Amino acid sequence: MDFTRLVEPAGLVYGRAAQEAIKAGNALPLAGGPAAFTLVDLIDGYTRSGFMPVAAVPAGWQAELARVVAAPVGGMVPLGAQVMGILNLTPDSFSDGGVHAQAQHAVAAGLEQVRAGAGLLDLGAESTRPGAALVTPQQEWARLEEALCALRAQAPNTVLSIDTRNSFVMEQALKAGADVINDVSALMHDPQALPLLAQHTCGVMLMHMRGTPQTMEQHTHYTDIGYDVVRELGRCVQRAVAGGIDPARLMVDPGFGFAKTTEQNMQLLARLPLLANLGCRVVVGVSRKRMIGAVTSEQNPARRDPGTQAASLCGLALKGSILRVHDVGGMVQAVKVWQSVHNV
């Protein structure tokens, strides 16, 4: 699939207004709903058409337009918007390092997140914050194994995701019952990761990042943050599919905070509908990040949950979005209110 030409949807409407606008030919569903878009910008390279009504799109752009209208694939995750609970089994995570380093604490916290409404749990044992210390795959798996096995036994119906870049950890986790692999390097860090996952049926999350956690802050130059992230993620999707992974297994994460400034993060958040060009469910991971602190002036990451909820709700314009957060209960409440207001 060629991502040189992109469609940027805008002018979103919801509920009854969306249905009436679609029926009148003044709007199209965004990625299968719940939103509909009334305006569109056609991008060829970095040349923009300027926003125009959807009814005015030239015939030569119908294929690209159909791409952003089509519903995303499932990603091996339950249908509908989902809240994903974060479980960091690390001593040095920026937000909660050390809190869940003991397996019994991680399991208790994970079960509480499930009770609060998490559809997925994301277990990670390697910090990927800027400048984070490196750990070996063996150390990473040693931190994960007990908690993963216990959660698999005690929460058999919950989707368990493993946040890792290393094929050794992926393989061990899948043997232990993990359902999803969440790779911040989009399968670029470990050359064995793609061929390994091609042999399985698990869901795969591909995140946008430039460089490594140690160098990513040196790679924040973009011609256009929206176009560049979508195209670079598109190449990751194409590589995964060419390597044998069924597109129906893939999800994409724009990588907030990874090789992006606060201003770029906010621009990208405002333009999430661009990600509909990729045809995959979108993961929104802004929880407690520096971008929230910069906007709110809240220095303590653990006190950034209200800002996290406000930012994460932007993702609900896209069907089946996955909101990755630390505070599951608060996010579930926010989603329910948003859905009620928008009649979805």
User: Which residues have a catalytic role annotated?
Assistant: 289, 324
3-class secondary structure per residue, 274-304: HHHHHCCEEEECCCCCHHHHHHHCCCCHHHC
Residue 272 three-state SS: helix
Cα-to-chain-centroid distance, residue 131: 22
Which residues pair with residue 115 across a beta bridge? none
- Most distant CA atoms of the chain, gap in Å: 59
Look at the block and give the residue holding tokens 């805008």: 10
The runs of H, that is alpha helices, within 54-211 are: 62-69, 103-116, 137-154, 167-175, 193-198
Which residues pair with residue 325 across a beta bridge? 85
| Cβ–Cβ under 8 Å, residues 315 and 30 | no
Nearest 5°: CA angle at 343, between 338 and 344?
A: 80
